[in-house]
Amino acid sequence: MNTKYIDLINQTFYFPQDEFKLEDRHLQFHDIDLMQLVEDYGTPLKFTYLPQISNNIGRAKEWFAKAMKKHKYKGKYHYCYCTKSSHFKHVLNEALKNDIHIETSSAFDIDIVEKMKAEGKITDKTYVISNGFKRSQYVTNIARLINNGHKNCIPIIDNYEEIDLLSQEIKGKFNIGIRIASEEEPKFEFYTSR
């Protein structure tokens, strides 16, 4: 069995994608020579092309709009940016230009949400979907956000214990979401879903 990184890439992505091209055996991203960046700054190297964030959000919204129209779906779609994908302020600021909501996965993320609220970048109308395992500090931070008036914070429940923990700290009623485990069969050799 051959399981190389390139096998995962070929199975997972259409590559190269529109943003990439090969020029003189150098990989280019939006006409930026990636090899030149490596030579200038060394490796490992991570860079963020901010316009692509808005492009990707717009593309996802468009896909959902088309699918909803095709299937005559009458519900609403709310794009939620997952803060764990990047906590950097410049990335979040770019994402927030696109009328989005937020998905959190840790206590630290709630601190970020509160900072964005204080700066006026999000409001109480912004949905905050709180996914992930609810450790003690995460529960406390979610409760603080809700108790301070952010009723659109919706903890996603992984188990019954989380409801009890949240109920002990949140004053009054609150909304919840429920994680449903599907019995999906792996379709690929590289399977990463839980």
CA–centroid distance for 101 within its chain: 10
Question: Is 96 a member of any domain?
Answer: yes
Instruction: Indicate whether 37 and 74 sit together in one domain.
Output: no
Question: Is 37 a member of any domain?
Answer: yes
pLDDT at residue 18, rounded to an integer? 75
Instruction: Indicate whether 97 and 153 sit together in one domain.
Output: yes
Instruction: Indicate whether 15 and 84 sit together in one domain.
Output: no
Nearest residue to 86 via CA among 117, 49, 122, 123: 49
Instruction: Indicate whether 80 and 36 sit together in one domain.
Output: no
Instruction: Indicate whether 78 and 166 sit together in one domain.
Output: yes
Instruction: Indicate whether 158 and 81 sit together in one domain.
Output: yes
Instruction: Indicate whether 96 and 145 sit together in one domain.
Output: yes
Residues 5 and 186: their CA atoms lie apart, in Å, by 19
Instruction: Indicate whether 23 and 113 sit together in one domain.
Output: no
pLDDT at residue 186, rounded to an integer? 63
Question: Is 11 a member of any domain?
Answer: yes
Instruction: Indicate whether 75 and 148 sit together in one domain.
Output: yes
pLDDT at residue 187, rounded to an integer? 63
In this structure, are residues 7 and 13 in contact, taking their beta carbons and an 8 Å threshold? no
Question: Is 170 a member of any domain?
Answer: yes
Instruction: Indicate whether 93 and 149 sit together in one domain.
Output: yes
Question: Is 183 a member of any domain?
Answer: no
Whether the upstream peptide bond of residue 16 has omega within 30° of 0, thus cis, is: yes
Question: Is 192 a member of any domain?
Answer: no
Instruction: Indicate whether 29 and 124 sit together in one domain.
Output: no
What residues of the chain score a pLDDT lower than 70? 1-2, 15-16, 183-194
Split into its structural domains, the chain has a count of 2
Domain that holds residue 124: 70-178
DSSP 104: E
pLDDT at residue 106, rounded to an integer? 96
> Tell me, what CATH number does 106's domain have?
3.20.20.10
pLDDT at residue 15, rounded to an integer? 66
- For residue 7, what are the contacts with CB-CB under 8 A and spacing of at least 6? 189, 190
Question: Is 184 a member of any domain?
Answer: no
Instruction: Indicate whether 103 and 149 sit together in one domain.
Output: yes
